[in-house]
Amino acid sequence: MLSGICSPWIGIERLAVEFTGAKLSGLQEMQNFYNAFLGEPFWDSEAMGDALLQVDAKTVWNKSRAGHTLAAVPEWAQLILCGADSKGKDGHQYVIRAFGAGYRSRLLEYGDTRTSDELYQRVFRDYTDPSGRVLRCRRLCVDVGGSKGAGTKDVSRTDEIYRWCKTDPAHLWGVKGHGGSSPPMRQITTTTQTYHPPGENRRSYDVTVSVIDTEYFKDLLASRINSEDAELWEIPSVGRDYVLQMASERKILAERRIKGEQVRDIWRWVPRSTHAHNHFWDAEVYCVVAAYMLDLDKPRATKATQPPKGYMPKYGHKQTRRPGWRIGR
């Protein structure tokens, strides 16, 4: 593929505009810039483990001082989405976000519920923007794992959450992280499978679950939080617990694999401390997963993406934008 640097139809002015817009829009658009305009891979085995993709409490706290209020739906919102992480014997910690194009989002509500039914009542209600437009939550992605705690016969909450998701399959979506040492082939793989609940004489049943590349989506979330574009990931004034949970994980070099002359570094997100709570962090990740499922990765218009005043395409060639890198839903 011919690099845009050498192309007579693109020109350095266009590349500068595209690069600036991609830099403001975060990881996905930077990847699109390298792939579509430079004809180069954005990630290789080492760059994919960028240790600079960290989330610290100070960054989250500073974003919370922007003056937004909880439940204030912005006019640019296209969808309301929710992510929830299973916690304890019965409850969930959750976040509700308004999403627009390019994963632009604003936190509307976060909290803790004691039961799945309570979570459903909080999430699936009317949300109204300043013009009076009413929206409802389109999808709730919930972790199908979790533990009921020591001393219980069934230590897993998987059966409970699978059955709950089957009560409203159009809106409740079970997700779980990819296991194993090898990276997944896709960012999301959704399948219908037969689930065998634990215990004697328990009848099996079919479930739909999406296995997600957690490393990819944590990178995507971190890139939004750290973006120079302050409008890309918005939060209102939040409490200390939310801030600490959002900074509860860090990215480290987990292992180095050597095969002949090839060296591959494996980077993973891990808890900063043994007992650090990360439920809100995971819930925010699941919110991004829901946005990815519903195609909200399409770029949004920003001032930086507009051509400079007086700029005209060379040779009358129609300028087109290639779609960003997306692998099956």
Domains and their CATH numbers in the chain: 1-42 (no CATH), 51-248+275-299 (3.30.420)
Cβ contacts of 239 within 8 Å, gap of 6 or more: none
Cα dist. 311→10, 38, 119, 307, 320 in Å?
A: 11, 20, 52, 6, 15
Predicted local confidence at residue 323, as pLDDT: 36
**Measured between alpha carbons, how far is 158 from 164 in angstroms, rounded to an integer?**
10
Lowest mean pLDDT among 139-153, 228-242, 250-264: 139-153
Q: pTM to 2 decimals? A: 0.76
Q: Give burial (CB, 10 Å; 0-12/13-18/19+) of 228.
A: exposed
pLDDT classification of 325: cutoffs 50, 70, 90: very low
- For 180-216, the pLDDT digits (tens) are 767 788 999 999 999 998 877 889 999 999 999 999 9
Residue 329 pLDDT exceeds 60:
no
User: How many of the other CB atoms lie within 10 Å of CB of 328?
Assistant: 9
Q: Which residues contact 77 (CB under 8 A, 6 or more apart)?
A: 98, 99, 100, 106, 129, 135
pLDDT band, residue 221 (cuts 50/70/90): very high
* Nearest 10 degrees: Cα torsion 49, 104, 66, 61: -30
The mean predicted confidence, pLDDT, of the chain is 81
Lookup result for tokens 């699936």: 124
Q: Nearest 10 degrees: CA dihedral of 34, 40, 44, 46?
A: -70
pLDDT tens digits, one per residue of 253-304:
878 778 787 877 778 899 998 888 999 999 999 999 999 999 988 776 655 4
Q: Is the pLDDT of residue 22 over 90?
A: no
CA distance 77 to 98: 6
Query: Which pLDDT value is given to residue 293?
Result: 95
Among 133-142, 175-184, 214-223, 274-283, which is the least confidently predicted range? 175-184
pLDDT at 248: 96
d(CA 220, CA 212): 13
15-53 b/e with 16+ CB inside 10 Å = b? bebbbebbebbbbbbbbbbbbbbbeeebeeeeebbeeeb
Note the pLDDT of residue 52. 66
pLDDT at 111: 96
Distance of CA 51 to the CA centre of its chain: 18
Q: How far does the chain reach from its first CA to its final CA, in angstroms?
A: 26
Q: What are the beta bridge partners of residue 127?
A: 135
Separation between Cα atoms, residue 276 and residue 320, nearest integer Å: 46
Closest CA to 215 of 174, 267, 276: 267
> What does the pLDDT read at residue 294?
95
Whether the predicted pLDDT of 306 surpasses 70: no
Tokens of 306: 């507009």
Cα gap 247→321, rounded to integer Å: 35
